[in-house]
Amino acid sequence: MMNDSPQEWPEPIIRVQSLSESIKGSNSIPERYIKPISERPNSNNNMISDDDCINIPIIDLKGVYSEDPKIRALTLNKISEACKEWGFFQVVNHGVSHELMDMARETWREFFHMPMEEKQKYANSPKTYEGYGSRLGVEKGAILDWSDYYYLHFLPFNLKDFNKWPSHPPSCREVVDEYGRELVNLCGRLMKVLSKNLGLEEECLQNGFGGEDIGACLRVNFYPKCPRPELTLGLSSHSDPGGITLLLPDHNIPGLQVRRGHSWITVKPSPHAFIVNIGDQIQVLSNGIYKSVEHRVIVNSNEERVSLAFFYNPKSDIPIEPVKELVTKERPSLYKAMTYEKYRLFIRLKGPSGKSHLESLKSPPPSTN
């Protein structure tokens, strides 16, 4: 359980932001950040689609609440297809104030531009991950990603601790708190939509998550400029371990790529949309009908990028397994039950590693007798 978590990082932490500043004008990056050829952004077996027409589906969420049953059905259907085919979609008309979204992003940008001494006050450790960090896994000698981050909890309430949130800029705590409240609300609405689309009672997925006692946390990613973006990644390929993720990307700066078969699609963010993606726990609860899809982040040499990833997760100590109604003779349970607490430990030890953990949950094939 929790005491399996390492207490300290295996090596001294280097802030990628400081590194990026210190190598300005140089044409190389430290070896620790250079990915094996097969993982690099432009390697041949990771073809990037240059097709400008391809993007993840964009969904007008107000269609879900339309008085016109045709529009409602059409919208629900679009979401259903996106959850099955892409594991990703963007939502517009989601009800969260655009001003609040901008304030949240700009507050965090300001935080990352505070002097290093200020940020170091919040330096995190692998014990809880809360605070200012620069790596995920704790394996000594691991190849690192080109990013720093800030991680904090909104829910459960007993984990929310303002003292672990930045006190500067002064608006930070208030803005981030309101942002969290609005996004918990939006995720609650999406959980109902997903339940309905799976043919379940509206509250079914939420109940599977532990009802009111869910978890919610924020990871703010900061991707500094990189002189050799073709050699590294801002965030290695991974699927999100939790339930639903709402990503607020930066203005007009591409970065997020979503796996589609053997290629990677670069997401083109719509103004003031949230990028929604299905996490591993929804894949498990839906018995594999909905997919938690691998994604990664590329960096660039001209601009830094800030993104806010908000994670809506199950209560940490209840077993998560496929919902009964979705397990049939024709479609046996694909996954073994596991608590989220235990599941999360894996990614914390290994860092981002594709979908390898979900694979380990797979039930053995049913015996034929």
Footprint on residues 188-227 left by ligand OGA (CB under 6 A): 219, 221
285-314 residues in contact with ligand OGA (CB under 6 A) are 295, 297, 307, 309
- Compare residues 277 and 316 and give the one whose CB is closer to ligand OGA: 277
Which option in Ni ion, ligand OGA, none does residue 236 bind, with CB closer than 5 to 8 A by kind? none
Binding partner of residue 221 among ligand OGA, Ni ion, none, CB cut-off 5 to 8 Å per kind: ligand OGA
CA–CA dist 283, 290 (Å, integer): 5
Q: CA–CA separation, 148 vs 7, rounded Å?
A: 19
How far out from the chain centre does Cα 365 lie? 30
Q: Choose, by CB under 5 A, the member of 145, 182, 240, 250 that binds Ni ion.
A: 240
DSSP 147-199: -EEEEEEEESGGG--GGGS---STTHHHHHHHHHHHHHHHHHHHHHHHHHHTT
Residue 169 buriedness (CB in 10 A; 0-12 / 13-18 / 19+)? middle
Q: Which of 144, 164, 141 is nearest to 154 (CA)?
A: 164
For residue 120, what is the enclosing H or E element?
helix 116-120
State the minimum distance, in angstroms, from the CB of residue 143 to ligand OGA. 18
Phi-psi region of 351 (alpha: psi -120 to 50; beta: other; left: phi over 0): left
Pick one of ligand OGA, Ni ion, none as the site partner of residue 297 (Cβ within 5 to 8 A by kind): ligand OGA
Residues paired with 308 in a beta bridge: 220, 248
Q: How far is the CB of 272 from Ni ion (least distance, A)?
A: 20
**295, 282, 264: which is closest to 79 by C-alpha?**
282
Residue of 135, 109, 88 whose CA lies nearest to 258: 88
Residues 6+ apart with CB under 8 A from 121: none
> Which residues is 263 bridged to in the sheet?
260
CB of 343 to ligand OGA, least distance (A): 15
Q: Applying CB under 6 A, does 63 fall inside the site for ligand OGA?
A: no
- By CB under 5 A, is residue 294 in contact with Ni ion? no
User: Which residue number, 151 or 323, has a Cβ lying nearer to Ni ion?
Assistant: 151
Query: If contact means CB under 5 to 8 A according to the sort of partner, which of Ni ion, ligand OGA, none does residue 348 touch?
Result: none
Q: How far is the CB of 256 from ligand OGA (least distance, A)?
A: 4
- Interface with ligand OGA by CB under 6 A: which range of 8-16, 247-255, 325-333, 340-348? 247-255
Phi then psi dihedrals of residue 186, to 5 deg? -60, -40
321 contacts Ni ion (rule: CB under 5 A):
no
Nearer to ligand OGA, 64 or 138 (CB): 138
Nearer to ligand OGA, 152 or 256 (CB): 256
Partner from Ni ion, ligand OGA, none binding residue 249, C-beta < 5-8 Å depending on class? ligand OGA
**Sites of contact with Ni ion (CB under 5 A):** 240
**Sites of contact with ligand OGA (CB under 6 A):** 219, 221, 235, 240, 247, 249, 255-256, 295, 297, 307, 309
